[in-house]
């Protein structure tokens, strides 16, 4: 019987078991059935969902400052007060 092999990089299941790394990104599709139990034992789910990247504090403060200036220009003082409170919390937590 011929060994399962990635058509993109010619990586084999034997190499995977030996070096514990894949040859290319396409190998994840080719060896999905063999990888599923290992992934499930490491993670809570078989499919990786990932995390949302965090926006830097500078970007957040710049955005809030812009919103604050806009609210003040529109004389929306209650909204400006809420934005200013968010800015204070953000600055204190950093």
pTM of the model: 0.44
Spell out the alpha helix ranges (H) of the chain: 13-19, 27-30, 32-42, 57-73, 77-93
* 51: in domain: no
Q: Which pLDDT band, with edges at 50, 70 and 90, does 74 fall under?
A: very high
Residues 40, 61, single domain; the answer is: no
Specify the pLDDT at position 86: 92
Residues 1, 41, single domain; the answer is: yes
* Domain containing residue 79: 57-93
- Lowest mean pLDDT segment, chosen from 30-34, 44-48, 64-68, 86-90: 44-48
Among 3, 1, 29, smallest CA distance to 15 is for 3
Residues 31, 61, single domain; the answer is: no
For the stretch 27-46, what's the b/e string if a residue is b when 16 or more beta carbons lie within 10 angstroms of its beta carbon? beebbeeebeeeeeeeeeee
Q: φ and ψ at 12, to 5 degrees?
A: -115, 165
Q: How many domains does the chain have?
A: 2
* 85: in domain: yes
Residues 66, 37, single domain; the answer is: no
* 30: in domain: yes
**C-alpha–C-alpha distance, residues 91 and 86, integer Å:** 9
Q: Which pLDDT band, with edges at 50, 70 and 90, does 3 fall under?
A: confident
């Amino acid at each position: 019987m011929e060994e399962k092999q990635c058509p993109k990089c010619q990586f084999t299941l034997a190499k995977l078991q030996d070096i514990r790394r894949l040859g290319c990104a396409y190998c994840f599709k080719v060896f999905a059935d063999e990888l599923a139990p290992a992934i499930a034992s490491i993670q809570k789910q078989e499919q990786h969902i990932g995390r949302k990247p965090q926006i830097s504090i500078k970007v957040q403060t710049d955005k809030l400052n812009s919103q604050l200036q806009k609210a003040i220009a529109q004389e929306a003082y209650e909204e400006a007060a809420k934005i200013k409170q968010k800015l204070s919390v953000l600055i204190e937590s950093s």
